[in-house]
Amino acid sequence: MALKTGIVKGEIFLKHIPGEGCPDTPQRLKSIYSMLNDSDMQGFFIDVLPQKADKEVITLFHSPEYFEKIAETKGKELIALTADTHAGADTFDAALYAAGGLIKAISQVAAKKIDNAFALIRPPGHHAEKSRAMGYCLFNHIAVGALYAQKKLNLSKILIIDWDIHHGNGTQHAFERDPTVLFFSVHQAGLFPGTGIFTETGIGAGEGYTINLPIPKGHGDAEYTAIFERLLAPVAEQFAPELILVSAGFDTHKDDPMGGMRMTTSGFAAIAASIKRIADKVCGGKMVCSLEGGYNLDKLPGIVKAVLKEMAGITCCDVGAMAAEADKKKVDYVVRRCIDVHRHQWHFF
């Protein structure tokens, strides 16, 4: 049965121009938005019009001083916030609509107006810290969205999954002391920003609610799917979140310039199907994805299409069959390291 899957998109996200040489170009979204007009994508999706987040919402996570710092970039020529993160004249508004668009999607999923949603937004967010821009990210949409869901929508427990090739340092730091938000990240070891080792498991009351899987390059579709099935699925069942948020980066594709993974379109469909199956089991299917990385303009539209089709129930990937093809040695290494670190907190079936 086809599900009601919402899509957040908007022209405002194309107006963020981060400067020459930055891989996060407007063309990323232009290529995806064009794909949404394909004949096989018609009649299945619901537009979720982005709204502009205000200061009160952004400062659920970010400091007021940082908000004002980003606000001051509005209307000005390119400003370097860090060596790799720049703001143009329309960047502040784009970032506000990105956070607000994700929140609109979360609100509609929570209210059961739609089953799930994908926020096709930019700039990305998962590297942004409380008071610092980083890695092309200005506001951490996922962190703001999770806190909004808790404080304004009265959801208590939230699972955040980050499958970008880079570790979501900002998101981890937002919740590392919080046992009501479980952060689960699979990323390539040794890449920017240098955080996310196995033994970063949370602090204080949040100990055990951060699960990092820094994996060596060379993992592909079957390995990723097997890792999600063997590690994420049992933990998610025990944690029992009321909402699943996904930082969906597509730079683990084998043709992406950012890293050394071997994912293909089929693999992204499989991990989306795996998470959807988990969401159906633990939280009534409430799953919202937010676009992070992914820089191969030729591959990106097809990957996003495959994920959207799984979310909408148009296709149904055989997750078990995909996982069964995994390189046992590669998967066993990740599983063993994870269990060694987390055995006192979680049961891995």
What are the catalytic residues?
127
- How far is residue 244's CA from residue 278's CA, in Å, rounded to a whole number? 9
43: alpha, beta or left? (left if phi > 0; alpha if psi -120 to 50): left
Partner residues linked to 220 by β-bridges: 262
List C-alpha distances in Å: 90 to 15, 43, 58, 142.
6, 32, 17, 21
Write out the two tokens for 91: 């960047």
**CA geometry: angle 77, 78, 81, nearest 5 deg:** 130
Q: Could you give the C-alpha distances from 135 to 29, 139, 140, 328, in angstroms and in order?
A: 18, 11, 11, 33
Helices 265-282 and 300-311 pack at an angle, to 10 degrees, of 30
Q: In what order do the strands lie in the sheet with 116-119?
A: 45-48, 5-8, 116-119, 287-291, 243-248, 158-162, 181-188, 210-215
Q: For residues 91 and 105, what is the distance between their CA atoms, to the nearest angstrom?
A: 21
Max alpha carbon distance in the chain (Å)?
Answer: 54
CA angle 168, 31, 96 (to 5 degrees): 50
In sequence order, the β-bridge partners of residue 8 are 48, 119
DSSP code for 326: S
**Nearest residue to 268 via CA among 238, 305, 296, 237:** 305
